[in-house]
Every structure is written in C-alpha cells, then in structure tokens.
Amino acid sequence: MNTKKSFGTREIVTTAVLLAICIVSQIFKNLSVFITGPVINTCIVLAVLICGLPCALILCVITPVTAFFIAASPVMNLVPGIIPLIMLGNAVLAVTVHFLLKKDMIAGGRKAGGIKSYLKAVLCALAKGAFMGLTIALWLLPTFIPADHKLRNMMPKLQMTFSVIQFATACIGFAYVFIIWAALRHDKL
C-alpha cells in the first residue's frame, strides 16, 4: 500500500481492475441490489484507499452509466436525472472515506479495523444513504414520476431502495473492505 502522492501506471491499472469488477457485478443487478451494491461500494472505498480520491471519483461517475447500459431499471429509464444523483451519492461516499477514514486505514496496519474505524465507516455509509435519501427518495422520485404512472405504486419500495438500502449496501461494502484490507495489509507486514 503505497501512501505517497503519485499517480501512475499502478493507479490506472488498479482503477481499471476495480471498474471491471464493478461492471461484472452489474450483470447481477436485476437479481439483487445486495449483490451489486456492496461490490460497487467496496470498489469505491478500495479505490480511495489504494489509488486516491480522483480514481475513486472516476468509479463514482462511470458505474451509474455502465449500470444504465448493462441493466437499466425502469426508474432509470423513466427518470434519467437519477443517474447524476447516484454519481453524487457515490462521490459522497468516496469523499467521506477520504477525509474521515483513509488516514486511520493507511496508518493502522493490521489494526486498521478497530472500533473507531468501524464507526467512521458507518458514518460514511450513513452520509451516502442520507444524501441519496434526501435527493432521490424524497425529492426526485416524488417530483418526476407522474401520478398516473405504474411506478408511482412502487414509490415506498423505490424510496427504501434509494435511502435505507443504500446505507445497508454501503455497510456491507465496508465489511468487505475491512476483510480485504486486513488481507492486503497482512501481506505487507
């Protein structure tokens, strides 16, 4: 885990691998959001920790676009304005990890998974869930899904998906991150 502030081939390759993992996971998007969501959140967090915030932000922007092309949901087709808000929700996750958690994870070695790190991870996940809940669940969907459209009947489920479930999948993603990070750090120590 290189902590110097350089950008090169390693960061490009790592970001590309993480993006490839995200794209493969999106094939399973229609099976369950609990497959794709944690994988994408894991990749975004790992990108922040390994490659830096700019690389993570690239994933934040690209993954909603690839999700649209690979397995667009009916709500994405009806309200395409959801895509930039998903990008921003992912960016909230990346930025909060960068400012709240990265230093602890990099400096922590094998002990990077202490209670302080876990609490910060929950806070980062909560920030993403709250942002998406406010912007998508409470504003975008009620405003832009027509009253006579069949998706209006699914509004409570959609609102849950773009708020509480975003928080849950981010938390699951962090569980994966702590496991992966411990394995990566163990190899370096």
| Residues 6+ away with beta carbon under 8 Å from 124 | 45, 93, 96, 97, 100, 101, 170, 174
pLDDT tens digits, 128-162: 999 999 999 999 999 999 999 999 999 999 999 99
Is the Cα dihedral 126, 130, 131, 132 positive or negative? positive
CB < 8 Å & 24+ apart, contacts of 104-108 = 105/49, 105/181, 106/1, 106/3, 106/49, 108/185
Q: Which candidate, 63, 64, 54, 61, places its Cα nearest to that of 11? A: 54
pLDDT (0 to 100) of residue 110? 54
Tell me: pLDDT of 109 over 70: no
pLDDT tens digits, 30-65: 788 999 999 999 999 999 999 999 999 999 999 999
Give pTM, 2 decimals: 0.92
Pick the CATH number of 9-188 from 2.30.30, 1.10.1760, 1.20.120, 1.20.1740: 1.10.1760
